[in-house]
Amino acid sequence: MAVIHQTTLKPTKLELLDAWLPTRPWYRGGPDGPRLAKAGGFRLDDPAGEVGIEVMAVTDTSGAEPVTYLVPLTYRGAPLDGAEHALVGTMEHGVLGRRWAYDGCHDPVLVDRFLALAEGRTRAQDQNVTDAVDEDVTVSWSGEGAAFAALVTGATAADDEEGTELTAPGGAAFRLQRVLCPAADGASVPAPEGAAGHVAGAWGLPDGTRVRGTFVVLRAGA
């Protein structure tokens, strides 16, 4: 169980994202850089207790229209070997000391935990409260777990204008929706056609409206 510390972070998570988001191909903000606010998210527990995992929804109001991005982050007490390209930045945590924050799509611990979430082997945790399940996060699963194991150890990642996709040698794919889109029916988010599994969640719009949409889609290989 991850313990959420009420302490200081220097720089803050949003300050880290201010510099990192404009470097992403799916970023749609204005030329003066993002104006970010937290819009939602959840946490996942690392069974080993070593890696902090947070899935953040952040809304940027710097462009013509507000855009909400999904940004999964992992927090580590030491650099992750071979993941220099995925480093978002470092922070000084008031309790834990220096933390290395990574784009979680490139961290095998986060990918493993997302698979566990989709398969129903773990539950999403509240973003701000220790040991509290986040009931807003829903999942579906009809796949075979073994087919997706290579996503943790041997996947390649590619970004496009909508999201990030990890593809394993056998063809299994994990797609993270970076630019969030509210579902047509605000109450339910059906599994995308042909998906082996999916994860959906909720976030808040700038006007206070609470909406839901797809966060992750898992597809089996051919």
60-79 residue pLDDT tens: 999 999 999 999 999 999 99
- Mean pLDDT for 11-25 is 94
**Which two three-digit tokens encode residue 220?**
């089996």
Q: Which domain holds residue 98?
A: 9-219
Give strand pairing partners of 129.
none
4, part of any domain = no
1, part of any domain = no
2, part of any domain = no
The radius of gyration computed from the CA coordinates of the chain, to the nearest angstrom, equals: 17
CA distances for 49 relative to 2, 74, 182, 196, angstroms: 7, 12, 33, 29
70, part of any domain = yes
pLDDT at 221: 74
pTM: 0.92
pLDDT at 191: 82
27, part of any domain = yes
pLDDT at 93 over 80: no
Number of domains in the chain: 1
